[in-house]
Structure 1
């Protein structure tokens, strides 16, 4: 029996793979050359022991003190920032979503401009937005709400627009054929299809907003991040530990509740 020989890949394809490998290796080497030399400070062991001891022995007295600055109060403030920021962004995202959905416009420039605006909004990190709003309205939870809400518009409107683009138009055509008006098409065909996607995406964004609101306090935007950065600066590791445990409980409970709601509503 004669052995079948597979044809060799074209030379152009081989050289393309070699070039891609060389570029990849070059990028990895270039990235490592920019890293500082690896070194361990003399007090690294002592600091590590202090952090570990703080994590094992958290400051349980800080859970509730009644002065409005304890862990429970700041966690509730963080939750409020996430709820208000998500609600504001969900309402404002709807017109942006219809603006950016390509199925709703005949002119490509309208859709492109909408998608460009959403991309521009998502470009700004929440920390930067929080610093900007702090300068505008002052430090506190209101700046955190504005930062979370503004940043969430770009992501929610993008998800909403994709849901609009993927919507089945057959139901709307059936309502129109039966003599329905544009309002009837919206209420009887479009909303029943879009509402589950809107609810699911909003709940998912709320989960992310909880994490974001926990960090924004480090720059003065309210929430549990404010006492966390103070505790880190003063090296109060037991206080840091109980705050981190509180954030874990809040995020875990939010994820569980959000998942349960999505199963029931979607």
Structure 2
């Protein structure tokens, strides 16, 4: 009889959770005003696909720095520099935010709050802010990418620190070592592979984000893309999109291969 009551209670909880989820979905859709498709949507979509199948190959490389290859390299440079710089800066933030005991920690709580505060601002918002501070260009994009990545990687790094085995640290301290010895010989060797893994994963995301920073003037391939869209130069749009697709595909494969090699 007891088992039947538990089963009934479990089913009731599932029904209630499902009903709440359905109500939330209905509420979310009720807040969206669907105006339908524009009459010119089919024509614009057809023009975009025509540009994809008839790309402007002359824009690929011109040797003057105003071509697709240069824009893609600038995008990669923004993503790489932003990720590398933030990966080093995120390490002390990660140790600040990591909770190493079950007790309440003011240090960990303030660290997690700061990392959350940094992640609140999207890359585009940060890019606009830094453009006002340092002017338009790739430098503003690197700053925007780097600051946002600090919040994301700091969170991932802190979770890696929290999940490591504390046995080696305790063994070093019990053998007469200090906290610095435990950090150097136990903590860092344990978390370093995870740090590298998260950094490579973040670089993949940064490449996608850097592709659109140029829309607001922060360098990269986004600037020529938005100009081509504004001028309805669909063949130019087509070759830029092809370049972005190839770049993202290669970047998805390369860090993945490196991660597999590191985890062997």
TM-score, structure 2 normalization = 0.89
Could you tell me how far 1:20 is from its partner in structure 2?
A: 4.8
* Partner residue in 2 for 1:196: 193
* Partner residue in 2 for 1:172: 169
Task: Check the 8 A contact 1:105/1:111 in 2, yes or no.
Answer: no
Tell me, in whole angstroms, the C-alpha distance in 2 between the residues paired with 1:152 and 1:113.
18
Tell me, in whole angstroms, the C-alpha distance in 1 between the residues paired with 2:25 and 2:44.
32
**Structure 1 residues 263, 21: closer, same or farther in 2, change over 3 A?**
closer
Query: 1:15-66: CA deviations, max 9, x gaps?
Result: 7666555544443333333333443333233222211211111111111011
Task: Check the 8 A contact 1:82/1:148 in 2, yes or no.
Answer: yes
Query: 1:108-128: CA deviations, max 9, x gaps?
Result: 122111111111111111111
Q: If you compute each CA radius of gyration, which structure gives the higher value, 1 or 2?
A: 1
Gaps of 5+ in 1: none
* Partner residue in 1 for 2:112: 115
* Partner residue in 2 for 1:159: 156
Task: Check the 8 A contact 1:78/1:210 in 2, yes or no.
Answer: yes
State yes or no: 1:210 paired with 2:207.
yes
Tell me, in whole angstroms, the C-alpha distance in 2 between the residues paired with 1:33 and 1:105.
42
Question: Secondary structure, in 3 states, of the residue corresponding to 1:153?
Answer: helix
Of 244, 248, 263, which residue of structure 2 is paired with 1:247? 244
* Partner residue in 2 for 1:80: 77
Tell me, in whole angstroms, the C-alpha distance in 2 between the residues paired with 1:10 and 1:202.
45
Tell me, in whole angstroms, the C-alpha distance in 2 between the residues paired with 1:128 and 1:69.
26
Gaps of 5+ in 2: none
Q: Calculate the aligned-residue CA RMSD, in Å.
A: 2.5
Could you tell me how far 1:104 is from its partner in structure 2?
A: 7.4
Could you tell me how far 1:90 is from its partner in structure 2?
A: 0.6
TM-score, structure 1 normalization = 0.89
**Structure 1 residues 26, 109: closer, same or farther in 2, change over 3 A?**
same
* Partner residue in 1 for 2:260: 263
Question: Secondary structure, in 3 states, of the residue corresponding to 1:102?
Answer: coil
